């Protein structure tokens, strides 16, 4: 299913095509250097597919930049469709390990990723991409045809039910954030099939590569890898609105899978008006270093896990708002999505301070009657992560059908269709 011969290939000789080919090579080289591309086969695919054909109107340099391109927004300006950043597309396709001749389904259509999948599947493969939005599907269809990938099927449908008429699939790649895993996605996988999906879990989004496993224990999905990512959200039957608590008139927000597990906004605001307690861990990280496993490690440990976003820089810590009079402002480790823990008697979050060599040391800042104890516990779990988890394998994530027996695991998150079990390797932590 590689591209039809035509003027968009690498041998085309117009100045624009030659410049585009050079930019494709530069993008592939960058993705290899950054570790997003790890196999020669995928590198060649990135050097082949003309991304600029899927981003019409953008200058070539922007079309081949490592950044997301939003192609549609809702009335509030929230993105509803995009051509994802090349690095996350490469990571997910490496996770998918697309077999030559594979029967493939993409859920969420931008066009470019389907073309990459078509190159990987080859002339004996079959690629179908489905999107709920007719405008997005029409755009993908036109871009694929213009780039020479007319054999890719583009279907307008809600993917909650998969695509039974084309099943079974060797690979299903989901390119929108999913809060849940509908039964059809598992059931329409081939016996040795793989699902790669940006899964929302305890407020965290990870691209999880699930293999279908069916044995005496049951028919389930078992993870092979999980990588940090971000995507536009699922629409249709699988849509799930974010749950968050907004504090102090919008200065802060707390994101969680289920805000019912957190104290009320009023209680949290009261905790944040108490004196601040600070503890440090001696754990040092580079700011650009991926902390993929740390948030999930903390989410496993603390029922009140959430993520703190500071909506206004430096806010809030003036007398009469949060913090005791004269207290320093809140200093979360990240501007958006800092790991935090909320209990009825304390609120704590990760903080960081710079070191001379450019790294930062991780610590905790906490408020409330039990602030010292919660800060110490949070720092202790960061230290345990550094000692036992930071350089080791991440957890195994298993998706059990909702009607299966309750799994025993370090963490179980209940969705509508599945129970997600998170298990860390034994003998550590």
Element (H, E) at 375: helix 371-384
Q: Assign 320 a pLDDT band (cuts: 50, 70, 90).
A: very low
Residue 394 has pLDDT above 70, yes or no: yes
For this structure, is 84 an active site residue? yes
Distance CA 347, CA 366 (A): 5
Residue 249 has pLDDT above 50, yes or no: yes
Which tokens go with 24?
């494709």
Residue 400 has pLDDT above 90, yes or no: yes
Residue 329 has pLDDT above 80, yes or no: no
Residue 2 has pLDDT above 80, yes or no: no
Tell me which residue of 199, 179, 228, 177 sits closest to 334, measured CA to CA.
Answer: 228
If one compares 230 and 304, the residue with the highest pLDDT of the two is 304
Specify the pLDDT at position 99: 97
| pLDDT tens digit sequence for 359-389 | 999 999 999 999 999 999 999 999 999 999 9
Strands 243-247 vs 218-228: parallel, antiparallel or unpaired: unpaired
Q: Assign 415 a pLDDT band (cuts: 50, 70, 90).
A: very high
Specify the pLDDT at position 17: 86
pTM of the model: 0.89
Residue 239 has pLDDT above 70, yes or no: yes
Residue 4 has pLDDT above 70, yes or no: no
Q: Assign 270 a pLDDT band (cuts: 50, 70, 90).
A: very high
Q: What percent of the chain has pLDDT over 90?
A: 70
Residue 23 has pLDDT above 90, yes or no: yes
Q: Assign 8 a pLDDT band (cuts: 50, 70, 90).
A: very low
Q: Assign 194 a pLDDT band (cuts: 50, 70, 90).
A: very high
- DSSP SS3 for 13: coil
Distance CA 193, CA 100 (A): 13
List, as one string, the DSSP characters of 220-278. EEEEEEEEE---PBP-GGG----EEEEEGGGTEEEEES-GGGS--HHHHHHHTTSPPEE
Specify the pLDDT at position 80: 61
Specify the pLDDT at position 335: 81
Element (H, E) at 46: helix 40-48
Q: Assign 5 a pLDDT band (cuts: 50, 70, 90).
A: very low
Q: Assign 260 a pLDDT band (cuts: 50, 70, 90).
A: confident
Give the side-chain half-sphere CA count within 13 A for 417. 18
Kindly name the residue from 14, 81, 82, 84 that is annotated as catalytic.
Answer: 84
Which tokens go with 198?
């940006």
Top-level class of domain 15-238: alpha beta
| pLDDT tens digit sequence for 138-169 | 999 999 999 999 999 999 999 999 999 999 99
Residue 326 has pLDDT above 70, yes or no: no
Specify the pLDDT at position 356: 95
The lowest-confidence range among 206-215, 275-284, 306-315, 340-349 is: 306-315
Q: How far is CA 190 from the centre of its chain?
A: 24
Compute the average pLDDT of residues 60-89.
79
Compute the average pLDDT of residues 343-357.
95
Q: Assign 352 a pLDDT band (cuts: 50, 70, 90).
A: very high
In the chain, domain spans: 15-238, 243-389
Specify the pLDDT at position 238: 87
Residue 10 has pLDDT above 50, yes or no: no
If one compares 5 and 428, the residue with the highest pLDDT of the two is 428
Q: What does the mean pLDDT of the chain come to?
A: 89
């Amino acid at each position: 299913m590689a591209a039809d011969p035509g003027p968009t290939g690498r041998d085309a000789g117009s100045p624009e095509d030659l410049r585009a080919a050079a930019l494709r090579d530069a993008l592939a080289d960058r993705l290899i250097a950054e570790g997003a591309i790890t196999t020669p086969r995928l590198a060649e695919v990135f050097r082949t597919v003309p991304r600029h054909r899927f981003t019409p109107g953008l200058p070539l340099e922007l079309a081949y930049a490592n950044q997301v391109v939003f192609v549609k927004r809702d009335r509030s300006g929230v993105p509803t469709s995009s051509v994802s950043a090349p690095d996350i597309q490469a990571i997910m396709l490496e996770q998918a390990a697309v077999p030559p001749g594979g029967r493939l389904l993409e859920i969420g259509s931008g066009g470019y990723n389907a073309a990459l999948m078509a190159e990987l599947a080859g002339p004996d493969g079959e690629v179908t991409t489905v999107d709920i939005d007719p405008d997005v599907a029409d755009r993908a269809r036109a871009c694929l045809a213009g780039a020479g990938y007319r054999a890719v099927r583009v279907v307008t449908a809600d993917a909650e039910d998969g695509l039974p008429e084309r099943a079974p699939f060797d690979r299903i790649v989901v390119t929108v954030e999913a809060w849940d895993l509908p039964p059809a996605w598992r059931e329409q996988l081939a016996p040795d099939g793989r699902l790669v999906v940006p899964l929302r879990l305890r407020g965290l989004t990870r691209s999880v590569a699930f293999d279908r496993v069916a044995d005496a224990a049951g028919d389930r999905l078992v993870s092979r890898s999980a990588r940090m990512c971000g995507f536009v959200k699922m629409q249709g039957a699988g849509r799930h609105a974010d749950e968050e608590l907004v504090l102090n008139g919008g200065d802060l927000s707390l994101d969680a899978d289920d805000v019912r597990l957190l104290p009320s906004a009023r209680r949290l605001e009261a905790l944040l008006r108490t004196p601040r307690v600070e503890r440090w861990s001696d754990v040092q990280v580079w700011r650009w270093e991926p902390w993929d496993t740390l948030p999930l490690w903390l989410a496993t440990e603390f029922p009140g896990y959430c993520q703190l976003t500071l909506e206004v820089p430096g806010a809030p810590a003036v007398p009469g708002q949060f913090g005791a009079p004269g207290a320093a402002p809140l200093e979360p480790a990240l501007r958006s999505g800092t790991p935090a823990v909320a209990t009825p008697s304390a609120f704590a979050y990760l903080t960081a301070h710079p070191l001379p060599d450019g790294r930062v040391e991780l610590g905790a800042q906490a408020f409330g009657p039990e602030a010292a104890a919660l800060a110490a516990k949070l720092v202790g779990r960061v230290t345990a992560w550094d000692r036992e988890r930071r350089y080791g394998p991440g957890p195994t994530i298993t998706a059990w059908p909702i009607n299966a027996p309750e799994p025993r695991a370090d963490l179980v998150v209940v969705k509508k269709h599945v129970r997600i079990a998170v298990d860390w390797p034994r003998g550590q932590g």
